[in-house]
Structure formats: C-alpha cells, structure tokens
Amino acid sequence: MSRSLALALSITDLLFLAYWLASGLDKVGLIAIPADWLYAGAGEPRVDAWNWSFFPLDLAFSVTGLAAVAASRKGSASWRPLALISLILTMVAGGMAVGYWTLLGEFDPAWYLPNLALLIWPLAFLPGLMRDLSRDV
C-alpha cells in the first residue's frame, strides 16, 4: 500500500469514527455540539434520521479502511480487497450526501465540500488498485 493511500484511509476513517463518537455522545446528552456546527435541519426528526442512516455505511468504510492499513503493515495481500471495499463505500457515502444536499439546494461549504471530497478522493487510488487486483487473479 502506498504511503499516500494509507494516510488518506487513516485520516478519513479516524475522522469518521470521531464524528460518530461525538454525534453519539451529543445524542445521549454527554456533550453538546454547537448548533452552528451541525448540518442544515439538525434537530428535525427526518433530517436526523437521514444523518444517522449513514452510520452503518460510514462504520463499514472506516473499519475496512483501517483493516486494510493494518493488513498492509503486516504484509498481507488482503489489504487490496479491503481497501477496494473501503474506497467504494467512501465514494457511496459521499455521493449520497452530495446528492441529498444538491437536491435540496443546500450548498453549505462546511458540509458540501467534505462530502464532495469523499466522492472524489478515492478516484485517485482506484485505477492502480484495480490494476494490482487484476494482476493477482
């Protein structure tokens, strides 16, 4: 695994785990996240449900991404399929959020740009990863 892919996966995945930890702690009242840090419509049941619907997807890409980095460090070839799964799920999560905010006409850069980045950054690594995987077959 390239150093840049390991760094991109690690940063993205750890930030998402931190986001969900903070969101969970806020949800149960152990911390209070300022309202101006939250997404448009936060506090509305449907919008909050939409946000929480990403939890399993975000958890899946974070766990597989971190597992890919760990497998690579151990010299295991399993890092490639794990990274592929993580990258695709990352793009799916980003694409779903970008689609949602676009359909609503909500272009708050604080939410839109990070999700657009999630949709785009994996594209830098997918072609090389696919080449590597096709050689292993």
Render pLDDT for 64-82 as a digit per residue (tens, 0 to 9).
999 999 999 999 999 999 9
Burial code of 92-130, b = ≥16 C-beta within 10 A, e = fewer? bbbebbbebbeeeeeeeeebeeebbebbeebeebeeebe
Q: Which domain holds residue 72?
A: 3-136
pTM, rounded to two decimals = 0.90
- Phi and psi at 134, nearest 5°, equal -70, -25
In this prediction, residue 137 has a pLDDT band, given cuts at 50, 70 and 90, of low
Number of domains in the chain: 1
* pLDDT at position 9: 97
Residue 94 has pLDDT above 70, yes or no: yes
Query: Mean pLDDT of all residues in the chain?
Result: 93
Q: How far apart are CA 1 and CA 24, in angstroms?
A: 32
- Residue 63: count of CB within 10 angstroms of its CB: 17
Which amino acid appears at position 52 of this protein?
A: W
**Least confident piece of the model among 15-24, 32-41, 123-132:** 32-41
